[in-house]
């Protein structure tokens, strides 16, 4: 059996559903990445700018790198999140970084111990500066959808990608970049509620609900809050509408199946759980990333978007008790969005005590909103 066949077989045994090989050469879409940065589309994700010249150069990640083993695994699950508040599918299970890095390290051990290759390897999953979709595309795993996600015909796009860099030549056949099967379909571009796609294959990440609810540490821009809708963490809309995802099977990987305690994390629970309880609940979960304040901010926006005034008492009590002024500002916004006399009187009461200028500004604007819909 060829080296690449044995590695592929072992990667399958480890649970990776797609495996491809590519030389560790400069990647083809490095210039597209830099143009994207020049347009400022990375927003607050300055760490992307800092890696401007290396993301398309795998050799920076492992001295003498010769080969990239690209892997993909589905995380598609039935959405089981409690309402109000939806959690993107990728985050309903355990943190994929750790699971995949661990398995890729095991693949590296297999290359050394079982195949007897004197090779150094390095696992990459999301956190290393590498254009991972470009690697998967070059390695023939799938094609770029217009929503920029890597797609396959049988597994769709609910995929995690990872790579193993190897400083040995594995004698892989020259890969063929995957053919594109999107045709004239624009369902993903049309469905985005924040109009984050400026063109096919081009996402203004500043408008993407995933950025707004996960990466963003500050306020969600007021003009985008309604469009965030019921998304508590991340967003799946541009994948949910993709025809290729309709028939894709659910994942078989235990780690990515929805965890009941995570799926039960509705927006109102986020606002009422203690820091300690939330911390325990989010053990090994990707939802830790925006920290409590980011998640509470999102929860307030979700409740404001329900249009259901039954949330006014909860929001009113949180407006008095919430320690973070940025979150108080979003709670005020939610009260303004729900409107009505009770929301207005809570806002008025808080306006007298509020010392933070930004939170006070939010309260004043929310009051205008609430008063305009007092009935
Ligand atoms: C930064 C980042 C984000 C940012 C920016 C997303 C983006 N589109 O770039 C934000 C926070 C918005 C984000 C969101 C999500 N992310 Co993210 N993210 C990343 C990260 C760390 C870097 C991506 C990057 O380099 N962006 C830079 C820009 C320039 O890339 P791009 O827009 O895709 O442009 C490329 C292509 O469009 C292509 N291209 C350009 N022009 C053209 C023209 C043609 C004709 C073609 C064919 C191609 C092409 O070349 C460009 C360079 O590669 C990667 C992990 C990694 N290290 O790669 C994960 C990664 C892309 N994310 C992932 C996931 C799962 C998500 C979410 C689904 C999570 C969620 N549910 O909320 C959403 C999806 C949103 C979306 N539609 O992209 C997965 C995607 C797996 C897949 N199937 O593709 C990755 C690969 C992580 C992983 N290891 O699995 N993410």
Write down the catalytic residue from 126, 240, 342, 356: 126
Residue ID of nearest Cα to ligand 1 atom 27: 33
CA distances for 19 relative to 142, 163, 167, 200, 234, angstroms: 10, 9, 18, 26, 27
Pairing of the two strands 231-233 and 86-87: parallel
Give the predicted TM-score (pTM) of the model: 0.97
- Asked if pLDDT for residue 96 goes beyond 80, the answer is yes
CA distances for 90 relative to 77, 240, 249, 285, 300, angstroms: 9, 12, 15, 10, 22
Cα 4 to Cα 15: distance, rounded to the nearest angstrom: 16
Q: What is the mean pLDDT of residues 331-335?
A: 98
For residue 125, the tally of other CB atoms under 10 A from its CB is: 22
**pLDDT tens profile 281-327:** 999 999 999 899 999 999 999 999 999 999 999 999 999 999 999 99
Distance 133 CA to ligand 1 centre (A): 7
Tokens of 310: 């039954």
- Asked if pLDDT for residue 372 goes beyond 90, the answer is no
Distance 149 CA to ligand 1 centre (A): 6
For residue 276, the tally of other CB atoms under 10 A from its CB is: 8
- Percentage of residues in the chain with pLDDT exceeding 90? 94
**pLDDT tens profile 198-209:** 999 999 999 999
Cα 326 to Cα 324: distance, rounded to the nearest angstrom: 6
Indicate which atom in ligand 1 lies nearest the CA of residue 162. 89
- Percentage of residues in the chain with pLDDT exceeding 70? 99
3-state secondary structure of 307: coil
Tokens of 60: 């920076």
Q: Where are the alpha helices (DSSP H) in 15-118?
A: 30-38, 46-49, 96-109
Longest Cα–Cα distance in the chain: 76
Of residues 370 and 73, more confidence is placed in 73
Q: Is 126 a catalytic residue?
A: yes
- pLDDT band of residue 177 (cuts 50, 70, 90) is confident
- Asked if pLDDT for residue 150 goes beyond 60, the answer is yes
Cα 361 to Cα 18: distance, rounded to the nearest angstrom: 51
- pLDDT band of residue 81 (cuts 50, 70, 90) is confident
Cα 365 to Cα 47: distance, rounded to the nearest angstrom: 33
- pLDDT band of residue 374 (cuts 50, 70, 90) is low
- Asked if pLDDT for residue 373 goes beyond 70, the answer is yes
pLDDT at 126: 97
Q: Where are the alpha helices (DSSP H) in the chain?
A: 3-13, 30-38, 46-49, 96-109, 132-138, 187-191, 209-210, 222-228, 237-240, 243-246, 260-263, 267-272, 275-281, 291-305, 312-321, 325-338, 341-353, 357-372
Cα 86 to Cα 69: distance, rounded to the nearest angstrom: 34
Q: What is the dihedral of CA 104, 55, 63, 21, to 10 degrees?
A: 50
**pLDDT tens profile 26-79:** 999 999 999 999 999 999 999 999 999 999 999 999 999 999 999 999 999 988
pLDDT at 156: 98
For 76, counting Cβ atoms within 10 Å of its Cβ (0-12 exposed, 13-18 middle, 19+ buried), the class is buried
N- to C-terminal Cα separation, the chain: 75
Cα 83 to Cα 269: distance, rounded to the nearest angstrom: 10
- Asked if pLDDT for residue 113 goes beyond 90, the answer is yes
Taking only Cα atoms into account, the Rg of the chain, rounded to an integer number of angstroms, comes to 23
- pLDDT band of residue 175 (cuts 50, 70, 90) is confident
Q: What is the mean pLDDT of residues 154-180?
A: 94
pLDDT at 80: 82
Ligand 1 first shell, C-beta below 6 A: 29, 32-33, 36, 45, 88, 90, 125-126, 130-134, 144, 147-150, 157, 159-161, 201, 203, 205, 208, 210-211, 215, 234-236, 238
Residues forming beta bridges with residue 138, ordered by sequence position: none
CA distances for 274 relative to 270, 298, 323, angstroms: 9, 16, 12
For the chain, what is the mean pLDDT? 96
Residue ID of nearest Cα to ligand 1 atom 13: 210
Cis peptide preceding 84, ω within 30 of 0? yes
- pLDDT band of residue 1 (cuts 50, 70, 90) is confident
Cα 120 to Cα 109: distance, rounded to the nearest angstrom: 9
DSSP 212: I
**Phi, psi of 240, rounded to the nearest 5 degrees:** -60, -35
- pLDDT band of residue 375 (cuts 50, 70, 90) is low
């Amino acid at each position: 059996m060829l080296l690449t066949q044995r590695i592929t077989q072992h990667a399958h045994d480890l649970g990776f559903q797609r495996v491809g090989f590519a030389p560790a050469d400069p990647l083809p879409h490095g210039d597209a990445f830099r143009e994207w940065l020049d347009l400022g589309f990375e927003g607050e994700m300055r760490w992307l700018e800092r890696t401007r010249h290396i993301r398309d150069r795998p050799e920076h990640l492992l001295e003498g790198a010769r080969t990239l083993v690209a892997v993909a695994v589905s995380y598609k699950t039935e959405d089981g999140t409690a309402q109000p508040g939806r959690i993107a599918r990728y985050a309903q299970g355990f943190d994929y970084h750790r699971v995949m890095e661990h398995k890729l390290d095991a693949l590296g051990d297999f290359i050394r111990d079982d195949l007897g290759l004197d090779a150094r390897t390095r696992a990459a999953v999301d956190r290393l500066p590498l254009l991972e979709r470009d690697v998967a595309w070059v390695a023939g795993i799938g094609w770029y959808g217009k929503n920029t996600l890597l797609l396959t015909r049988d597994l769709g796009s609910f995929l995690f990608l990872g790579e193993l860099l190897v400083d040995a030549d594995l004698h892989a056949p020259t890969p063929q970049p995957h053919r594109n099967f999107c045709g004239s379909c624009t369902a993903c571009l049309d469905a985005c509620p924040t109009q984050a796609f400026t063109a096919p294959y081009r996402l203004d990440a500043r408008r993407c609900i995933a950025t707004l609810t996960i990466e963003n540490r500050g306020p969600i821009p007021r003009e985008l809050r309604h469009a965030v809708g019921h998304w508590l963490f991340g967003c799946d809309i541009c994948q949910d509408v993709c025809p290729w995802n309709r028939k894709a099977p659910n994942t078989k990987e235990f780690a990515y199946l929805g965890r009941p305690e995570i799926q039960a994390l509705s927006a109102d629970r986020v606002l009422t759980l203690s820091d300690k309880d939330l911390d325990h609940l989010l053990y090994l979960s990707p939802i830790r990333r925006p920290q409590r304040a980011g998640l509470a901010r999102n929860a307030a926006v979700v409740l404001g978007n329900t249009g259901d005034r039954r949330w006014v008492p909860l929001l009113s009590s949180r407006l008095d008790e919430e320690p973070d002024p940025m979150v108080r500002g979003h709670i005020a916004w939610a009260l303004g969005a729900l409107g009505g006399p009770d929301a207005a009187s809570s806002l008025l009461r808080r306006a007298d005590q509020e010392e933070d200028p930004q939170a006070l500004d939010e309260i004043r604007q929310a009051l205008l909103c609430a008063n305009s819909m007092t009935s």
